[in-house]
């Protein structure tokens, strides 16, 4: 039987993928806390979902250790525990390697890898205390093939694989699982703005299922890994890309 009323934290909740993940848990009757750096996106999320007390939002930069710690204290005081953490905050600019600056490299690593570390580190005690929890990191299928112009992003997502596998071994005895959902090129608004339509369309022909990958394609797999049906799955990477990468 599916659990309801769980306390679920989703970072990057104002984005295309994050907002769809929020929707899936809301539909289950869970209590959602959506985080995002962009306050405008959070206001839009709250206004369009009309979920009342079931959805709260918090403007938090996951790269800011003090802000993350303050958020964790707020969650402890308000809810007392956390059942599910979905690390979905991401940043994926296109910069050729030889033109990439150290600052650009560090920014992408900070958001995609260090941010997941900080959120997990801050909220893990609120899972361990109850002997149950689910952590799902949004990775990327790009770690299996590489992407031109995104060396920093692919390196960060490769780090997510290592973080997930190692942490799964450390905290399994507490009834907590840690997994990755790794999307392919997903058609979100930032992707539409930054990538040529020809490139996006070409991805369809490389897939077993020949259509665009949409944000909602990720919500179901994330939800599955947070269900009782996935009690014996941990440290794994679930590639969701329409069958392009056979992993």
Higher pLDDT pick, 202 / 15: 15
Question: Tokens 């905290």 sit at which residue?
Answer: 171
Residue found by looking up tokens 């959902």 in the block: 181
Among the four given CATH numbers 3.30.470.20, 3.40.50.720, 3.40.50.2300, 1.10.10.10, the one describing domain 7-240: 3.40.50.720
pLDDT (average), residues 146-167: 97
- The more confident residue out of 194 and 235 is 235
pLDDT band of 193, cuts 50, 70, 90: confident
Supply the pTM of this predicted model.
Answer: 0.95
Alpha-carbon dihedral sign for residues 62, 68, 74, 75: positive
112 — phi, psi (to 5°)?
-80, -30
Domain boundaries, the chain: 7-240
Q: Is 174 a catalytic residue?
A: no
CB neighbour list of residue 180: distance below 8 Å, 6 or more residues apart: 136, 137, 138, 139, 160, 161, 164, 236, 237, 238
Residue 1 has pLDDT above 70, yes or no: no
| CB atoms closer than 10 angstroms to residue 26 | 17
Q: What is the pLDDT of residue 89?
A: 96
């Amino acid at each position: 039987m599916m659990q309801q009323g769980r306390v679920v934290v989703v970072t990057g909740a104002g984005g295309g993928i994050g907002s769809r993940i929020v929707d899936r848990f809301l539909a289950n009757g869970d209590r959602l806390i959506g985080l995002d750096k962009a306050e405008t996106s959070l206001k839009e999320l709250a206004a369009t979902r009309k979920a009342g007390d079931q959805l709260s939002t918090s403007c938090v930069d996951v790269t800011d250790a003090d802000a993350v710690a303050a958020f964790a204290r707020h969650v402890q005081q308000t809810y007392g525990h956390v059942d599910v953490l979905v690390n979905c905050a991401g940043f994926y600019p296109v910069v050729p390697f030889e033109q990439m600056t150290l600052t650009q490299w560090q920014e992408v690593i900070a958001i995609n890898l260090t941010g997941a570390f900080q959120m997990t580190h801050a909220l893990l005690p609120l899972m361990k205390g109850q002997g149950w929890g689910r952590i799902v990191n949004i990775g990327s299928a790009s770690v299996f093939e590489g992407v031109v112009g995104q060396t920093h992003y692919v390196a960060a997502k490769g780090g997510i694989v290592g973080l997930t596998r190692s942490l799964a071994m450390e905290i399994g005895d507490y009834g907590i699982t840690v997994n990755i959902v790794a999307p392919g090129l997903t058609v979100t608004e930032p992707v539409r703005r930054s990538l040529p339509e020809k490139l996006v369309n070409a991805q369809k022909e490389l897939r077993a299922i020949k259509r665009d990958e949409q944000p909602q394609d990720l919500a179901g797999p994330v939800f599955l890994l947070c269900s009782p049906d996935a009690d014996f799955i941990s440290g794994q990477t679930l590639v969701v890309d329409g069958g392009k990468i056979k992993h």
